[in-house]
């Protein structure tokens, strides 16, 4: 990997392709473990679905299946900022030098103005009309009925990073109930991409998980000895993610997995992830899914303790806690209230933003980001090694152009686009910004605009000492948990890519426990793309108005639509209850 990639140490969490798509399309010849686990899923598009050329259909099939420390605030020299982002900076800021200069000017002029009220709040009445209720059970405890998990044992090895694994865990819990099987506490697959040997108890509280779900399913920590000695692959009990279609209905498991359980007494779901549909699912099974995600999964004590420390420093004043702290850091939330600094001390609110601009996302998108031939060659080389199926597809078929892909909002937002969005929305220069992300493609220079326009920008590496981070070193999933806590507890959270699992889970958690007081910015990238394409001529006031309108349209409070993720959209009767 190029040395100019900035390691912000994070979740390395990526919404992955359906692992079966590339292997099915190319008869399995090009699918490798590393490529299957590191490829982010690209969202489908009505425009691309209508494309008729063979190459474009193949491209759609492939994609669709599947820092600085706090500084003292000072006035900004407008001339200096205009010069910084102006001539000679095209290679650093791509095509956005002019817009960044205008943004710097606007922030300098408006640093003493009040921010728009809706930046830090949701539409209170409709947002607070739902309350958490996934903890309510309307069935008999599993131990008091014939449902005792007696159809056999389910072993699950979840792939991906921490957030993908979280989804896999809860899907596995639902499967255990559906199939009347005993669930073995899920294992996590080691990957050369994530390079993390963490297992369940390193990230979550295992005893709480088992005990909390005991009324729902039977669970054990290990297989019985007599089953441990079996060669599961030899007896046909290993089922990989390639064997299970993405978002399969319950009927698939009842038809295909139950016979294996009854015959062998055990089935191993290897590389299990997003393999259970959100609809149609019986009401109580959907509620169990939510119960697992929002109640049963609690971070391990060492993560909670360090997460509480992170939140205390993000807020600057230790005497203040947030509405989600108890759910995120458990008993360590009390430590946030210690060492009050006086009655007049006021907590510093902060904005969290998750940048999804890692090299795998950039390479997979097939977009261009202003780096010219050097960028194209570097990304092509990465695809050859890590995304061979996509590299082959690119060579053998005619695909949509980078401009067409960008017009559909299918390119990840660059750090420059993200900071322009924040400035246009009205976040002033004094805003405290917490950045979560992994290896930002392009290195420190890609964060230059964010740092310059928002000097109160931090990461967990700025706020926690090397000694405090040492227990998490080389454990990307545990570091991801810290980013999850920092983003979820933020006063406002900005997504930059709708396909990010971390952003989806954070957004859903804020809805579930936020009481209508935890706003999330969900940009419509297609609309933003139509605005950004005019970057060389559009005036700042017009840009500002159009961005605000585009984001405002995504703030409507509505219940979950059919087929949408309950982890991301928990406003549904299976997960939450109307307050009226």
Residue 216, helix vs strand vs coil: coil
Asked whether the predicted pLDDT for residue 5 surpasses 50, the reply is no
Cβ atoms of 473 and 499 closer than 8 Å = no
Question: Which H/E stretch holds residue 165?
Answer: helix 162-178
- Do 173 and 217 form a contact (C-beta atoms < 8 A)? yes
User: Mean pLDDT for the chain?
Assistant: 83
Beta-carbon neighbour count of residue 340 at 10 Å?
A: 11
DSSP code of 185?
A: P
Which pLDDT score, from 0 to 100, does residue 481 have?
96
pLDDT in tens, 549-572: 999 878 777 889 999 999 999 999
Q: Residues 373-396: pLDDT tens digits?
A: 999 999 999 999 988 989 999 999
Res. 318 pLDDT band, cuts 50 70 90: low
CA-to-CA distance for 292 and 341, rounded, in angstroms? 38
Name the helix (H) or strand (E) containing 169: helix 162-178
Phi, psi of 360 (to 5 degrees): -65, -40
Rounded to whole angstroms, the Cα distance separating 299 from 288 reads: 19
What is the tens place of the pLDDT at every residue in 409-427? 999 999 999 999 999 999 9
Q: How far apart are CA 543 and CA 101, in angstroms?
A: 13
Distance of CA 307 to the CA centre of its chain: 18
Interaxial angle between packed helices 540-552 and 415-425, expressed in degrees from 0 to 180 and rounded to the nearest 10: 90
The reply to whether omega before 255 is within 30° of 0 (cis) is no
Structure tokens at 163: 């957030």
Q: Would you say 419 and 453 are in contact if contact means Cβ atoms under 8 Å apart?
A: yes
Q: Degrees (nearest 5) of the Cα angle 248, 506, 364?
A: 60
Highest mean pLDDT among 60-64, 394-398, 486-490: 486-490
Distance of CA 81 to the CA centre of its chain: 33
Residue 43 has pLDDT above 90, yes or no: no
Half-sphere exposure of 216 (CA within 13 A, CB side): 30
The region of weakest confidence among 140-144, 223-227, 410-414, 531-535 is 140-144
Q: What is the pLDDT of residue 94?
A: 63
User: Mind listing the pLDDT tens digit for each residue in 65-77?
Assistant: 443 333 333 344 4
Q: What is the pLDDT of residues 249-282, one digit of tens each?
A: 999 999 999 999 999 999 999 999 889 999 999 9
- In percent, the amount of the chain with pLDDT more than 90 equals 62
Q: Find all residues with CB under 8 Å of 575, minimum gap 6, and list them.
A: 132, 133, 134, 286, 287, 290, 294, 512, 560, 566
**Three state DSSP letters for 511-534:** HHHHCCCCCEECCCHHHHHHHHCC
The candidate with the shortest Cα–Cα distance to 393, out of 18, 45, 28, 30, is: 30
Burial of 464 (0-12, 13-18, 19+ CB in 10 A): middle
Predicted confidence band of residue 112 (pLDDT cuts 50, 70, 90): confident
Pair 142, 215: CB distance under 8 Å: yes
SS3 129: coil
Angle of CA points 397, 403, 405, to nearest 5° = 65
CB-based contacts of 35, cutoff 8 Å, min separation 6? 22, 386, 387, 388, 389
Helix (H) or strand (E) holding 201: helix 200-203
Q: Is the pLDDT of residue 459 over 60?
A: yes
The order of strands in the sheet holding 350-354 is: 457-458, 432-436, 350-354, 492-495, 520-521
Give the C-alpha separation, 463 to 190, whole Å: 29
Task: Identify the residue whose tokens are 């040492």.
Answer: 470
Residue 381's Cα: distance from chain center in Å? 26
Burial class (CB in 10 A: 0-12, 13-18, 19+), 556: exposed
pLDDT the model gives residue 548: 94
Angle between helices 162-178 and 476-488 (to 10 degrees): 90
Written as six digits, the tokens of 298 are: 């609690």
Please tell me the pTM assigned to this model: 0.84
How do residues 165-205 score in pLDDT, each as one tens digit? 999 999 999 999 999 999 999 999 987 666 789 999 999 99
The stretches of 265-324 forming alpha helices (DSSP H) are 283-291, 301-315
- CA 308 – CA 321 distance, rounded (Å): 9
């Amino acid at each position: 990997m190029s040395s100019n990639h900035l390691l912000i140490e994070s979740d390395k969490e990526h919404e992955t392709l359906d692992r079966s798509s590339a292997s099915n399309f190319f008869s399995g010849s090009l699918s490798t473990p590393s490529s299957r686990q590191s490829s982010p899923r690209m969202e489908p598009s009505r425009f691309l679905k209508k494309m008729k050329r063979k190459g474009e259909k193949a491209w759609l099939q492939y994609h669709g299946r599947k820092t600085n420390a706090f500084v003292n605030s000072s006035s900004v020299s407008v001339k200096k900022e205009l010069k910084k982002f102006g001539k000679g900076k095209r290679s650093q800021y791509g095509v956005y030098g002019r817009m960044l200069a205008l943004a710097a000017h606007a922030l300098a002029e408006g640093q003493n103005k009040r921010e728009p009220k809706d930046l830090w709040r949701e539409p209170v009445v409709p947002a607070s009309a739902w309350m958490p209720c996934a903890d309510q059970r309307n069935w008999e405890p599993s131990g008091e009925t014939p449902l005792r998990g007696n159809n056999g044992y389910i072993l699950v090895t979840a792939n991906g990073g921490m957030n993908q694994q979280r989804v896999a865990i809860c899907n596995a819990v639902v499967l255990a109930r559906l199939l009347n099987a005993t669930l073995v506490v899920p294992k996590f697959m080691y990957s050369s991409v994530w390079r993390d040997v963490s297992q369940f108890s390193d990230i979550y509280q295992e005893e709480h998980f088992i005990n909390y779900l005991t009324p729902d399913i039977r669970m054990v920590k290990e297989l019985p000895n007599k089953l441990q000695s079996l060669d599961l692959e030899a007896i046909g009990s290993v089922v990989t993610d390639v064997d299970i279609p993405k978002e399969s209905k319950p009927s698939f498991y009842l038809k295909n997995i139950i016979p294996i359980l009854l015959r062998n007494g055990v089935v191993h779901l290897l590389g299990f992830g997003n393999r259970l549909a959100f609809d149609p699912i019986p009401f109580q099974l959907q509620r169990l899914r939510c119960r697992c995600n929002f109640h049963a999964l609690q971070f391990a004590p060492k993560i909670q303790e360090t997460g509480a420390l992170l939140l205390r420093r993000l807020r600057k004043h230790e005497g203040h806690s947030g509405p989600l702290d108890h759910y995120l850091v458990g008993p360590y939330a009390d430590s946030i209230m210690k060492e009050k600094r006086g009655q007049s001390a006021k907590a510093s609110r902060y904005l969290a933003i998750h940048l999804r601009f890692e090299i795998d996302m950039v390479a997979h998108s097939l977009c261009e980001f202003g780096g010219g031939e050097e960028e194209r060659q570097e990304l092509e080389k990465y695809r050859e090694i890590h995304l061979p199926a996509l590299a082959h597809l690119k060579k053998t078929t005619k695909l949509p152009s980078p401009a067409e892909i960008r017009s559909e909002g299918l390119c990840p937002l660059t750090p420059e686009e993200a900071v322009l969005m924040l400035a246009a929305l009205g976040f002033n220069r004094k805003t405290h910004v917490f950045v979560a992300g992994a290896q930002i493609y392009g290195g420190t220079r890609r964060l230059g605009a964010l740092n310059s326009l928002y000097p109160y920008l931090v990461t967990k590496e700025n706020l926690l000492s090397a000694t405090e981070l040492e227990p998490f070193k080389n454990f990307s999933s545990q570091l991801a948990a810290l980013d999850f806590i920092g983003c979820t507890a933020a006063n406002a959270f900005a997504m930059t890519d709708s396909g990010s699992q971390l952003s989806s889970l954070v957004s859903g958690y804020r809805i579930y426990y936020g009481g209508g007081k935890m706003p999330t910015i969900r940009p419509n990238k297609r609309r933003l793309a139509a605005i950004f394409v005019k970057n060389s001529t559009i005036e700042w006031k017009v840009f500002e108005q159009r961005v605000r309108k585009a984001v405002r349209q995504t703030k409507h409070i509505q219940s979950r639509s059919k087929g949408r993720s309950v982890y991301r959209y928990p406003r549904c009767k299976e997960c939450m209850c109307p307050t009226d």
